[in-house]
Structure 1
Amino acid sequence: MFKGGQKKDNALDLSKLVDKTVRVKLAGGREVEGVLKGFDQLLNLVLDESTEFLRDAEDPLRVTDETRTLGLVVCRGTSVTLVAPTAGTEEIANPFIQPEEEA
């Protein structure tokens, strides 16, 4: 919205991530990683060289290391819940899991 001639900035500036690898979480639990090629104001994303991370059959909330190659993908903005660059990120152990006590 324009107010007094000032443009309102988006909270998410994806232009810095174009041509970089990003991980996208979608509504319903699917996760896709690929090179961001384009986007629009509705958060529709175009990913190239994309890979889907498959979920565990026994625990659908857990993503496994098993993948499926998708290629060029268009993610609808209404389904996108998270966009994160993969460069500079690493997985850490969950600090909230309590070790099991031996009886």
Structure 2
Amino acid sequence: MAKKENALDLAKLIDKGVRVKLSGGREVEGVLKGYDQLLNLVLDETIEYARDKDDMLKTIDETRPMGLVVCRGTAVMMVSPTAGTEELAQNPFAAEAE
């Protein structure tokens, strides 16, 4: 029987930067220090991205430092490495206006 692999192996991200989206729309970014099988995460040097007052699901450039944070696994929606990612200026999948 083949070993089941996760789409994202968190062990490879220890001591590296990650961005975490939490239920309710909050987003934080920090250095992953630890995790467990329930996806509880420990982040250090964490910053939280402020949300847009008009659209609470969008973040803005304003941040606040949070330091050492424990994210409960039940609230974690997405974990992504910060290295090798960049924001696109335009959605490549949006239909072009003619």
**TM-score, normalised with respect to structure 2:** 0.87
Q: CA RMSD in A?
A: 2.0
Q: Which amino acid aligns with 1:52?
A: E
Runs of 4+ in 1 over 6 A off after TM superposition: none
Deviation at 1:59, TM superposition (A): 1.6
CA distance in 1, matches of 2:50, 2:29: 12
Match of 2:62 in 1: 66
Q: Structure 2 stretches of 5 or more lacking a match?
A: none
Q: Distance in 2 between matches of 1:24 and 1:47?
A: 10
Find 1:94's aligned residue among 85, 91, 95: 91
- Output one character per residue of 1:56-79: Cα deviation in whole Å (capped at 9) or x when no partner: 112212110000100000000000
Q: How much has 1:94 moved relative to structure 2?
A: 1.8
Aligned partner of 1:79 in structure 2 is: 75
Query: Matched residue pairs, number?
Result: 96
1:40 counterpart letter in structure 2: D
In the TM superposition, residue 13 of structure 1 has moved relative to its aligned partner by 1.3
The 3 A distance-change label for structure 1 pair 97 and 7 is closer
Q: Distance in 2 between matches of 1:81 and 1:61?
A: 13
Q: Is 59-68 or 23-32 further displaced after alignment?
A: 59-68
Residue ranges of structure 1 left out of the alignment (5+ in a row): none
One-letter code of the match for 1:82? M
